Copies of this chain bind each other. A is one copy, B any other.
Amino acid sequence: MLNAAVIGTGFIGSVHAKNFARHPNVKLVAVSDVNIESANRIAAATGAKAVPNADEILNDHDIQAVLIATSTDTHVDYLERAAKAGKAIYCEKPIALDYAEAEKAVRTVRATGVPVMLGFNRRFDASHAALRETVVRGGIGKIEIVQLTNRGPKPPPISYVKVSGGQMRDQTIHFFDMLRWLTNDEPIDLYAVGAALVDPAIGEAGDVDTSIVSLRMASGALCQIDSSRRTAYGYDERVEVFGSEGMIESTRQSFRGVSLYQDCQVHRDGMYPGWFERIEQSYYEAIDVFLKAIESKNPPNPSLEDGLKAQLIADKATESMRTGQPVKIST
């Protein structure tokens, strides 16, 4: 039984804390947050103790694993300190907003040899994972076209938009990672177009809320990703991989199955209202994979390097939007 702690008990940190609390192979011993009331609340709900300062966690030799879910600007600091303290680390993405800074942190962390997993939890969604399993074993032959859709349900506050790094680095980055993971391949160039169609204030903040990205993979496969910050029908995430011997789709999903027949129409019920409801379970699966990796002493995946690569693609897509030109991605 491993002892674990969660640093940062905001929305995602509290999700992770509860998943640790109900996982049979780990004991959540401590949580911390700059907002001590938040930490207290999560402590009460999980049976962990709340500590006023992450240092207590990092210095506690009985804690083998830490999960970093603080604000992005503190990730590098906690990553480096936790690594030096010899903890196994699950770190929320991104490593840092700035690529060079992220790369430097990765070098520092890698020197310590601790196992680190990066929070690209969509890799653990049951549908995406089943799709990938088929793709990887050659079930659809050679990959030729990939289509990824991620939309909605509603834009974040403008205050968040301003510090988010932009739609590519904040939202689409998950799908850049998914693309690499699904295809076992790397993009070699891309072209991105975006606009603030949902909310002009997002445009005024220098960001976009609607975008399409075309990517060419090293294998020659072509990829399209469309992203929107808002839908009028809940959360919309769809993956389609088209290959030489078939096509496979991870479809839009409903959380229940009810169909009303009326007026020559079928009204199907229950699209997920938000991204969290849609992929909630994958957070638990990610923790499970993290724990199993530690136990088996295998390096966990997705890795810090996966984080760097997705981030580089997001940077290049942002550059393409700005310049209006296609951009090469040197690997």
Answer yes or no: A130 CB below 8 A from chain B CBs.
yes
A236→B127 CA distance, assembly (Å)? 20
Answer yes or no: A284 CB below 8 A from chain B CBs.
no
A166→B255 CA distance, assembly (Å)? 34
Contact A233 B262 (CB under 8 A): yes
Give every chain B residue within 8 A of A170 (Cβ-Cβ): none
Answer yes or no: A270 CB below 8 A from chain B CBs.
yes
| CB nearest to A44 among chain B residues | B24
| CB nearest to A211 among chain B residues | B222
Contact B262 A245 (CB under 8 A): yes
Contact A258 B266 (CB under 8 A): no
A257→B126 CA distance, assembly (Å)? 8
Give every chain B residue within 8 A of A22 (Cβ-Cβ): 22
**A308 vs chain B, min Cβ distance (A):** 25
A271→B130 CA distance, assembly (Å)? 13
Contact bitstring A205-235, B, C-beta under 8 A = 1, else 0: 0000011101010001111101010111110
Contact A191 B259 (CB under 8 A): no
**A244 vs chain B, min Cβ distance (A):** 7
A233→B245 CA distance, assembly (Å)? 8
Give every chain B residue within 8 A of A231 (Cβ-Cβ): 242, 247, 261
**A314 vs chain B, min Cβ distance (A):** 18
Give every chain B residue within 8 A of A268 (Cβ-Cβ): 265-268
Of B236, B244, B254, which is within 8 A of A232 by CB? B244
**A284 vs chain B, min Cβ distance (A):** 12
Answer yes or no: A3 CB below 8 A from chain B CBs.
no
Contact B247 A222 (CB under 8 A): no
A60→B63 CA distance, assembly (Å)? 38
Give every chain B residue within 8 A of A245 (Cβ-Cβ): 232, 262
A261→B232 CA distance, assembly (Å)? 8
Contact B265 A233 (CB under 8 A): yes
Answer yes or no: A31 CB below 8 A from chain B CBs.
no
Give every chain B residue within 8 A of A251 (Cβ-Cβ): 257-259
Give every chain B residue within 8 A of A326 (Cβ-Cβ): 191, 324-326
Answer yes or no: A246 CB below 8 A from chain B CBs.
yes
Contact A197 B232 (CB under 8 A): no
With contact pairs A214-B214, A264-B273, A266-B267 given, residues A256 and B130 touching in the complex (Cβ less than 8 Å): yes
A96→B254 CA distance, assembly (Å)? 38
Contact B260 A271 (CB under 8 A): no
Contact B242 A262 (CB under 8 A): no
With contact pairs A222-B211, A233-B246, A256-B127 given, residues A271 and B267 touching in the complex (Cβ less than 8 Å): no
Q: What residues make up the interface of A, taking CB atoms closer than 8 Å to B?
A: 22, 24, 45, 126-127, 130-131, 134, 139-142, 144-145, 147, 149, 151, 191, 193-195, 197-198, 210-212, 214, 216, 220-224, 226, 228, 230-234, 236, 242-273, 324-326
Pairs A–B under 8 Å by Cβ, sample size 27: A127-B257, A134-B258, A140-B262, A145-B151, A147-B149, A191-B214, A193-B214, A197-B220, A210-B222, A211-B222, A224-B226, A232-B262, A233-B261, A233-B262, A233-B263, A245-B262, A246-B262, A247-B261, A248-B258, A248-B259, A253-B257, A265-B269, A266-B267, A268-B268, A324-B326, A325-B326, A326-B326
